[in-house]
Amino acid sequence: MIRWFVKYGFVIFLFNTVLYSISLTKDTIAPIVFYITMATGLFFLLLNPKHLKEVLFHKAFLFLMILNLINLIYYLFFDSISNFDSLEYLMARFMSFSLICLSIYYNFSFFKNRFTSLVVKIISLVVFLGLIIDPNLLNGRYHGIIWNPNMLASLTVLAFSCLLLRKKENSTFEKLLMILLLIVSLSTGSRSAIIAIGLSFVFKYGFSLRNVFYSIMGVITIFLLSNTNLDTSLNRISSQGVLKGRVEQFNFAIYNIKEKILTGHGLSEYSGLPSDVEIPQRLEGIFIAAHNGYLSILIQYGIIFGGLVILIFFRKSLEVFRFYFRRNDENLVYVFFIVYTLFAANFESFMTGINEFHTILFWFSLSYLSYSKYLEEYAD
């Protein structure tokens, strides 16, 4: 049991974040699975503390432990010790990072050869269930069984990229599945989905004639759809641009950063909208969270600790990007996950949450490539 959980605990944790995205399970099944997974992981760590030295402080995963140390120092000296939500965040972040490290260390071949296929299967199941319950893709912003259309878009573009960037040839069914994932992504109305799809083609084909052709077809498609009354991603970009509705949110986030510029609002305030701020009357009724991962981090930690957190994961991202980009092997999709997240974090609050699929996949991809790089450089 212990060996199995150490190898697959992260997989349980990751796919439970999908349950957090589904309206029917986010407040029922998902929290139960989350707390059981966290408690089980902590119990096994205490039962076998050698993991702390051999795995968690492994050179490849050291950046995660540094981030945990930053969280601990911040909590002890700048947060409220009596704030249970901050303590819960501290422990949950430590355990999520621990599950990532343990699973990669003891089950590396699984993540190298089979993991992305499992990601595609799980997300495809979510899409098919959504189409059964709500088959009308063109009635407003489509969200299927996911409570947020942007969240569904995040899932579908990640599954699409797994298929597009895989090394082996896709079957006819998988090619049809790619088309379906593409259609669903566009029907969500998510503007970042367009960016993700374009970026995935650049990763696959580079700046080639094929991409020029796809770009021309994309422009034609945007022109045709922009003259309809649909609410797809293409319509929203052509009518609203990329930043429509975000500027007001960014400005309010910057205001909140300035309110506690050095100490931040606390570990528990990772949503991008601190619970202790007073929302101006002109913004009442508007979802005014930061919608920006970098601003959310600065709201949470302040500019000193927040800047250090951003510096650490940017440095690690650049390290693995330089090592793996242009190699066009099975690791390319993980490089894409990292690059896309760093870019999409300008428009969504990625990298701060605990139970968000895209965020957890980002931290996993960084850790996986860091360990893979270590094996290539130091393994006999």
Rounded-to-integer distance, Cα 59 and Cα 105, Å: 12
Q: For residue 210, what pLDDT is reported? A: 64
Characterize 57-84 residue by residue with b for buried, 16 or more Cβ atoms within 10 angstroms of its Cβ, and e for exposed.
ebebbebbbebbebbeebbeebbeeebe
Beta bridge partners of 22: 146
Spatial contact of 371 and 312, defined as CB atoms under 8 Å apart: no
CB neighbours of residue 258 within 10 Å: 10
pLDDT in tens, 122-149: 999 999 999 999 888 777 788 889 988 8
Q: For residue 157, what pLDDT is reported? A: 93
Q: From 104, 137, 74, 110, select the one nearest 304 (Cα to Cα).
A: 74
Rounded-to-integer distance, Cα 47 and Cα 2, Å: 10
Is 329 a domain residue?
no
Is 147 a domain residue?
yes
Is 158 a domain residue?
yes
Q: Is the pLDDT of residue 172 over 80?
A: yes
Q: For residue 280, what pLDDT is reported? A: 65
Is 149 a domain residue?
yes
Q: For residue 63, what pLDDT is reported? A: 97
Within 13 Å of residue 324, how many CA atoms lie on the same side as its CB? 28
pLDDT greater at residue 11 or residue 232: 11
Q: How confident is the model at residue 341 (pLDDT cuts 50, 70, 90)?
A: very high
Sequence letter at residue 199: L
Beta bridge partners of 70: none
Q: Is 22 helix (H, G, I), strand (E, B) or coil?
A: strand
Q: For residue 211, what pLDDT is reported? A: 61
pLDDT greater at residue 223 or residue 6: 6
Q: Tokens representing 154? A: 């995040």
Q: For residue 232, what pLDDT is reported? A: 47
Percent with pLDDT over 90 in the chain = 57
For the ranges 133-147, 250-264, 331-345, which has the lowest average pLDDT? 133-147
Those residues with Cβ within 8 angstroms of residue 259's Cβ, 6 or more apart along the chain or in another chain: 265, 277
pLDDT in tens, 283-330: 555 556 678 899 999 999 999 999 999 999 999 999 999 999 878 788
Rounded mean pLDDT of 96-117? Answer: 95
Q: What is the largest CA-CA distance in the chain?
A: 64
Looking at the chain, list the stretches that DSSP marks H as alpha helix, in order from N- to C-terminal side.
2-21, 29-47, 50-51, 62-77, 84-106, 108-113, 115-133, 149-164, 172-187, 191-205, 209-225, 233-240, 247-259, 293-301, 303-324, 332-344, 357-378
Q: For residue 234, what pLDDT is reported? A: 47
Is 291 a domain residue?
no
Structural domain containing residue 206? 121-238
pLDDT greater at residue 34 or residue 239: 34
Q: How many degrees, rounded to 5, is the angle at CA 115 between CA 125 and CA 59?
A: 145
Mean residue pLDDT across the chain: 86
Rounded-to-integer distance, Cα 5 and Cα 43, Å: 11
Q: How many domains does the chain have?
A: 1
Those residues with Cβ within 8 angstroms of residue 2's Cβ, 6 or more apart along the chain or in another chain: 44, 47, 48
Is 285 a domain residue?
no
Percent with pLDDT over 70 in the chain = 86
pTM of the model: 0.90
Q: Is the pLDDT of residue 243 over 60?
A: no
Is 68 a domain residue?
no
Is 269 a domain residue?
no
pLDDT greater at residue 104 or residue 203: 104
Report the range out of 39-53, 64-78, 141-155, 270-284 with the highest average pLDDT.
64-78
DSSP for residue 270? -
Rounded mean pLDDT of 9-26? Answer: 95
Q: Tokens representing 161? A: 């990229």
Rounded mean pLDDT of 364-369? Answer: 98
Rounded mean pLDDT of 166-195? Answer: 87
DSSP for residue 170? P
Q: Report the phi/psi class of residue 302: left, alpha or beta, with left for phi > 0 and alpha for psi in -120 to 50.
A: left
Q: How confident is the model at residue 193 (pLDDT cuts 50, 70, 90)?
A: confident
